[in-house]
Structure 1
């Protein structure tokens, strides 16, 4: 018997098995879209039938290999296709990736789990395709971390336009079986009457997603450059920062966690050509003075970087006003940017704003932190984003571990970045520049010990500058 005939016989038996276990049903069903359908595929049930599930996985694999698709990893669309992708991975020794429907509020917060090389290809595995939207969503998540998606394989194609829609997105879809073939098999074995088969055919004909009028070109969401985002900003500090990042080709901020003015000024002069921002902790400086402020400001002007005082304001409005404007440090006179916790409520911003707006200063809200066990997660983070949206005249972005807003005027800055991506044993959790910028979609990486503890801080800063900006360029073009 020819190989093609053997494959056809296996597909025919599988369709009969799916009918017997009620993975394929006929009647009157309301689909997720609200449309009434005479046919319904409930393929989640196959997890209770290991023999059938194994056969589905093998036929998916053989269908893909017959098509000539090349791929380095496989990824199942959540959630029904996950066990199918797992079997394909385990049986054929191909690495598997997992796409989360939502990022975790803790740990790595990755949307794509697994080991992969940016630029490598990934095969998407699905159980049923109607419009192709679930496959496209998975493809977008994979592509956002640098993977390439050109092929997908599905158990059942409802033949309602999904294959054409995916082709327009640059994804070739292969299927084990389509609705028309399924109906022929079930009619051949008298599983359904002709009247039911014709009712399904009418439904498919009348509920097909029309092809686009545009040529089949792979589409992707427009990623704006730093220059373009700067043009959209209303706040002068955000506009200035984006301009510096674009002109210096740097999205690196160095955290000068040092205790003497001489150490800070020496570091600022060494790393200045490679950074867009220097972050200070003014209350750990043992010999703070007005002369130090003048010298640091001169270095910022000479090397073209902004000064960010990491004060983390977190008190009632009247108190933070004094902390920001008065006292020994008079932060509002020299720091372009400050940050604040949202914990006290909007009053903290109202107090800071009354001082900062008159001096053209800006604020970042701390929405997420890099320390292990921190409580800036979940609903707290969502409330912080909402507060920022309500105070865009002063708040220009976030200290965060991931992109929290699609507003291109908001800047996302991620601390806890090291080239090694390890931890420090004291609760600090590091990520790599690539992971921060490509996977988590940060705009600026903040590096401390990886630079100032290096024997050659200038060279270390240049290495981080190159790694982070290359990651940004990849995100911009992919």
Structure 2
């Protein structure tokens, strides 16, 4: 795994963004672990994550200057990452969508930069089923924006019902680049170094033996 992926994975574990129990995912699967991005309510943690996104964007020489955050979890990611990039990527701006059309004032479905005809970087939290990617693509196309890159913090590396890896399926279904800062495999490598997490690792690997084939 890359140095960036290792650092992100270590941060996810040490900041307790990964939590354990019994959770129903958006995919309807029952999972023994969940990535709780509401724990980024700490400004320090959010800044750290935003710096990881910014580092990746700069490393990959992504040229788009508008960061799009899908409501709701993507909103703080977009704003914080735009701030993290402000000195190294002049002209950077952000935008996020409304869940419902505003019927008064300026109206519209987005708040922030005008995206019509503009290239965008979409920032999201976790790749699970790929449904959020499709929803976001439709929203952006409805506003005549152009997604060039869709970046998630974590790829759960799960297969869909047909046995295909979700991230690869999403890549094949879209013309924009789709990438992840880190993966569940890299997170498990970090967790293997924490003896107190041995039982959680066992449950995760049992789950992944079914959905990560």
TM-score (norm 2): 0.83
Task: Select the residue among 188, 196, 199 that pairs with 2:200.
Answer: 196
Cα distance in 2 for partners of 1:117, 1:134 equals 19
What is the aligned partner in structure 1 of residue 61 from structure 2? Answer: 68
For 1:353-386, what per-residue CA distance to the aligned partner results, in whole angstroms no more than 9, with x for missing partners? xxxxxxxxxxxxxxxxxxxxxxxxxxxxxxxxxx
What CA RMSD, in Å, does the superposition of the two structures yield over aligned residues?
A: 2.2
Are the aligned partners of 1:77 and 1:135 in contact in 2 as well (CA < 8 Å)? Answer: no
Q: 1:153 to 1:8 in 2, by over 3 A?
A: closer
How far residue 73 of structure 1 moved from its aligned partner, in angstroms, is 0.3
How far residue 64 of structure 1 moved from its aligned partner, in angstroms, is 2.5
Cα distance in 1 for partners of 2:127, 2:58 equals 19
Query: Which structure 2 residues correspond to residues 174-213 of structure 1 after superposition, within 5 A?
Result: 174-193=179-198, 195-207=199-211
Aligned residues: 200
Task: Select the residue among 31, 38, 57 that pairs with 1:37.
Answer: 31
How far residue 117 of structure 1 moved from its aligned partner, in angstroms, is 5.4
Q: 1:154 to 1:33 in 2, by over 3 A?
A: closer
Cα distance in 2 for partners of 1:204, 1:52 equals 28
Cα distance in 1 for partners of 2:62, 2:166 equals 19
How far residue 62 of structure 1 moved from its aligned partner, in angstroms, is 1.1
How far residue 192 of structure 1 moved from its aligned partner, in angstroms, is 1.1
For 1:396-421, what per-residue CA distance to the aligned partner results, in whole angstroms no more than 9, with x for missing partners? xxxxxxxxxxxxxxxxxxxxxxxxxx
> Would you identify which runs of 4 or more consecutive aligned residues in structure 1 move more than 6 Å?
none
1:89 lines up with 2:89 in the alignment: no
Larger Rg over CA atoms: 1
- For the residue of structure 2 that corresponds to 1:75, the secondary structure is strand
Query: Which structure 2 residues correspond to residues 366-405 of structure 1 after superposition, within 5 A?
Result: none
Query: Which structure 2 residues correspond to residues 72-471 of structure 1 after superposition, within 5 A?
Result: 72-93=65-86, 94-116=92-114, 118-160=116-158, 161-167=165-171, 168-193=173-198, 195-207=199-211
For 1:259-314, what per-residue CA distance to the aligned partner results, in whole angstroms no more than 9, with x for missing partners? xxxxxxxxxxxxxxxxxxxxxxxxxxxxxxxxxxxxxxxxxxxxxxxxxxxxxxxx
How far residue 85 of structure 1 moved from its aligned partner, in angstroms, is 0.9
What is the aligned partner in structure 1 of residue 161 from structure 2? Answer: none
What is the aligned partner in structure 2 of residue 17 from structure 1? Answer: 14
How far residue 11 of structure 1 moved from its aligned partner, in angstroms, is 2.4
- Name stretches of at least 5 consecutive residues in structure 2 with no aligned partner: 87-91, 159-164
Are the aligned partners of 2:5 and 2:186 in contact in 1 as well (CA < 8 Å)? Answer: no
- For the residue of structure 1 that corresponds to 2:15, the secondary structure is helix
For 1:45-93, what per-residue CA distance to the aligned partner results, in whole angstroms no more than 9, with x for missing partners? 211x221110100101112232333212001121122112101112323
Cα distance in 2 for partners of 1:117, 1:51 equals 29
How far residue 203 of structure 1 moved from its aligned partner, in angstroms, is 2.0
Cα distance in 2 for partners of 1:136, 1:27 equals 28
What is the aligned partner in structure 2 of residue 54 from structure 1? Answer: 47
Cα distance in 1 for partners of 2:106, 2:43 equals 33
- For the residue of structure 2 that corresponds to 1:39, the secondary structure is strand
Cα distance in 2 for partners of 1:86, 1:117 equals 15
Are the aligned partners of 1:63 and 1:174 in contact in 2 as well (CA < 8 Å)? Answer: no
Cα distance in 1 for partners of 2:70, 2:115 equals 20
TM-score (norm 1): 0.39
Larger RCO (alpha carbons 8 Å, 6+ apart): 2
